[in-house]
Structures are given as structure tokens and as C-alpha cells.
Amino acid sequence: MQSFTDLGQVLSQSPLLLFSLTAILGLLVGSFLNVVILRQPKRMFHEWHQQCQQLLAEDKGTTASSEFATETAPPGIVKRRSFCPHCKHQLSALDNIPLFSYLLLRGGCRYCKNKISLRYPLLELFTALVSIAVVWHFGYSAEAGYALLFSWTLIVLSGIDIDHQLLPDEIVLPLLWLGLLLSLATGGVSPTDAILGATAGYLILWSIFQLFKLLTGKEGMGYGDFKLLAALGAWLGWQMLPLIVLLSSLLGAVIGGLLLAIRRKGSQPIPFGPYLAIAGWIALLWGDKLTDLYFRTMGL
């Protein structure tokens, strides 16, 4: 226990060492987040397909096991090592060093020479930068640890939502429950504010969804967005919800508008989860300052 205390003192007194270790941790975590973003949806789709096959077989009064039991499940999150998406060759530890392996191999696979997507090193670098920003803000503290977990989860959810317009319950709901539990154990958001934040966060977007559907007959967003805002409310309290909704709406209008203009496909869906995640992360670090600035600007 004394060794952890001594380590904490060293890191608190050596910002360069603290940020260097944070950057390394961020790169390693970013590599893992790439795996989750890639594999988790595939496993979900496989499970849903299995369930649909089972229901169809039951409806026909036949045995379904022979129809889909031979289907190979996608690789698990941690049970199988990383492999090249092109030649499927399992990568060695030297091939899998976050960011640096990509640079050393010049963005290609060592075995088949095919190019590896730039998104993988970029996500690793982005995760490292986000982690440094969190530790810069909170310092060496338990709050920094909670904020890092919060930030990494938002990165995963954003990546999956961008790829599949999907916010998995397997990730969103644990984030929600953890936010509520932390309100009991930390001196930050109170349990009352966390419960009200979770409830109000869900109801805000649910109400907008229902109103939009009533007026247009279309569904403007998914239920995952309701749950994500509920999770943000649980972590940050109901007081941050107006800021999060405002920031996410502005980001959605600006970035979404630019994407639509570039793609020139007005009917292509644009996920709202990443905008909520960005707004929630901004509120985590600077929400109080932004709220105070708004009130001072408005003379309130």
C-alpha cells in the first residue's frame, strides 16, 4: 500500500512522467478499443441471426439447430489475438505495438503487404490525446480514473454508432449503472442528481422522438440515444443536461450538415450518438465553466 502512495507522490510531482505514462496507457487502450469497435457488433449480429433462425424454425415447427448450428461465431473480444483483416494471419506482438507498428510497417501488413486502414492508428492516437486531456484536468486522482473509463467508453460507443448506427445495450447500460453507483461512492454528483439526471436524460430525447414521430410519421433517432443521454445524466447530474443537449444539437447541425453536403445523400442516416458523446465529454471537463460563462453573458 505504501508503494502505491509513493508512486502517487512521484507522479504528482513529475507531470512529464505522468503524462508520458498516460499517453502509453492511452495508446494501449486505444488498440483494445479498436478491437471492441470491430468485433462487438459482429458478435451481436451473429447472435441476433441465431435468434431469428430459431424463431423462424419454431414458427415452421422444425428443428433449427441443423440450419445454423454450423455457423462460426465471430471472434471474441479477448479470446483471439489480432489478425490481418485481409490475409487473416495472426499478428505477432511486434506487429501489434499501438501506433508504432503501423508507422514501422508503413501502414501495411507484414505478411500480405495489403494496406491497413488509417483509422486504427488514428483511434489509438486520439485515445491517447483524450486520456492526456483528462489527466491534465483532474491530475493524479481517483476522479481521473473514473473520467478515463467514462471517456474510453464514449469512444467505443461513438465508433460503433458511426459504423452501424447502433449503441449496444451491453455497453450503454453498464455505463449508466456505473454512473449511478459512483454517485454513492464519490463526492461528486449526488445520488439524487444522478437519478434525476438519468431519468430526465432518457425522457428528454424520448419526448423529442415521440413528438417528431407524431408530426412526421418517421423515427428521428434510436432508443440507444435515449439511454446514452440517461447515462450522461447519471454521471454528470441533471444540471448538465441542458448544456449537453445544446452542444450535441449544435455539433449535429454543423458537422451533420457538412457531411450531408460532402456525401450529397440526404437520405443517409447520420448517427447522433457521437455528438452526445462529444458534448458529454466536454461537459465532464468544462461543464461548470461553460455554464457559469453562459449565465454571466446573459446577466443572470
At 25-49, the pLDDT tens digits run 999 999 999 999 998 888 888 787 8
Cβ contact 172:227 at 8 Å: yes
Within 13 Å of residue 65, how many CA atoms lie on the same side as its CB? 0
Task: For helices 273-297 and 119-138, give the axis angle rounded to 10 degrees.
Answer: 30
How many residues would you count in the chain? 300
DSSP at 269: -
Largest CA distance in the chain: 71
| 188-199 residue pLDDT tens | 899 999 999 999
| 256-285 residue pLDDT tens | 888 777 776 555 678 999 999 999 999 999
Label residue 225 by pLDDT band (50, 70, 90).
Answer: very high
**Same structural domain, 150 and 295:** yes
pLDDT of residue 4: 55
Query: With b meaning 16 or more CB within 10 Å and e meaning fewer, what string describes 202-222?
Result: bebbbeebeeeeeeeeeebbb
Q: Is the pLDDT of residue 65 over 70?
A: no
**Same structural domain, 181 and 229:** yes
**Same structural domain, 196 and 295:** yes
Cβ contact 34:123 at 8 Å: yes
Stronger pLDDT, 183 or 47, i.e. the higher one: 183
pLDDT of residue 155: 98
Q: 10-19, 62-71, 212-221: which range is least confident on average?
A: 62-71
**Same structural domain, 145 and 291:** yes
- What's the CA gap between 12 and 83, in Å, rounded? 38
**Same structural domain, 122 and 150:** no
Q: How many domains does the chain have?
A: 2
Q: Is the pLDDT of residue 5 over 90?
A: no
pLDDT of residue 174: 96
pLDDT of residue 108: 78
Cβ-count burial of 230 within 10 angstroms (0-12 exposed, 13-18 middle, 19+ buried)?
A: buried
What share of the chain has pLDDT > 70, as a percent? 86
**Same structural domain, 173 and 238:** yes
Label residue 52 by pLDDT band (50, 70, 90).
Answer: confident
pLDDT of residue 296: 80
DSSP at 190: -
pLDDT of residue 193: 96
- What's the CA gap between 280 and 274, in Å, rounded? 10
**Same structural domain, 186 and 223:** yes
Final residue in a domain of this structure, among 91, 107, 137: 137
Torsion region of 113: left, alpha or beta (phi above 0 gives left; psi -120 to 50 gives alpha): left
- Number of other CB atoms surrounding residue 241 within 10 Å: 21
Cα–Cα nearest to 199, from 170, 229, 166: 229
**Same structural domain, 146 and 258:** yes
pLDDT of residue 61: 66
Final residue in a domain of this structure, among 113, 137, 161: 137
* Average pLDDT estimate for 196-209: 95
**Same structural domain, 122 and 229:** no
Final residue in a domain of this structure, among 105, 122, 137: 137
Cell of 19: 503524462
Domain that includes residue 78, residue range: 1-137
Label residue 79 by pLDDT band (50, 70, 90).
Answer: low
Q: Is the pLDDT of residue 115 over 70?
A: yes
List 132's β-bridge partners, or say none. none
**Same structural domain, 152 and 108:** no
| 124-171 residue pLDDT tens | 999 999 999 999 999 999 999 999 999 999 999 999 999 999 999 999
Q: Is the pLDDT of residue 214 over 60?
A: yes
**Same structural domain, 72 and 116:** yes
**Same structural domain, 171 and 252:** yes
- What's the CA gap between 291 and 239, in Å, rounded? 9
